[in-house]
């Protein structure tokens, strides 16, 4: 199973320097898990930068994977992971969702560097 962090989705949609890194997991829709927090973050950023129609198109593409809602188990796991790894709220929810589904988390967010079961690539400048 695969979870792509919001930073990866945004890089892919913007066709940024690391878009190719994220293309393989994003297009593997049979194994793709999409946390609802990721849809929120991506919709908000695309809405701010490009407007509502592109934001709606982005989250529609994200629905090709299995969208999973925040539940009590993920929330409590995220709290533990946030404390253990000193992660912000959204990042801890991404990691907790990945762990619940035994998924690899793909990200370019430096908060995840060195964490087990995370496929990390440094953000290209």
Look up the CATH number of the domain holding residue 56. Answer: 3.40.50.1010
pLDDT higher than 90, residue 14: yes
Among residues 121, 62, 63, 73, the alpha carbon closest in space to that of 99 is found at 73
In a domain, 60, yes or no: yes
Q: Provide DSSP, 46-80.
A: HHHHH-HHHHHHHHHHHTTSEEE---HHHHHHHHH
CA geometry: angle 100, 81, 112, nearest 5 deg: 90
Residue 15: inside a domain: yes
Q: pLDDT at position 125, please?
A: 72
125 in any annotated domain: no
pLDDT at position 124, please?
85
User: What is the number of structural domains in the chain?
Assistant: 1
- Residues whose CB falls within 8 Å of the CB of residue 31, separated by 6 or more in sequence, listed in order: 1, 2, 103
Let me know if residue 39 belongs to a domain: yes
pLDDT in tens, 44-77: 999 999 999 999 999 999 999 999 999 999 999 9
pLDDT tens readout for residues 69-108: 999 999 999 999 999 999 999 999 999 999 999 999 999 9
Which range marks the domain in which residue 28 is found? Answer: 2-120
Q: Is 84 part of a structural domain of the chain?
A: yes
pTM here?
0.94
């Amino acid at each position: 199973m695969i979870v792509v962090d919001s930073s990866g989705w945004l890089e892919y949609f913007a066709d940024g320097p690391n878009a190719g890194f994220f293309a393989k997991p994003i297009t593997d829709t049979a194994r793709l898990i999409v946390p609802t927090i990721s849809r929120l973050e991506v919709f908000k950023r695309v809405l701010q930068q490009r407007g509502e129609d592109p934001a709606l198109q982005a989250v529609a593409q994200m629905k090709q994977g299995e969208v999973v809602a925040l539940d009590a188990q993920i929330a409590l796991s995220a709290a533990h992971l946030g404390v253990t790894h000193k992660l912000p709220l959204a990042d801890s929810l991404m990691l907790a969702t990945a762990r619940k589904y035994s998924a690899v988390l793909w990200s370019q967010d430096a908060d995840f560097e060195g964490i087990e079961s995370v496929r990390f690539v440094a953000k290209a400048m």
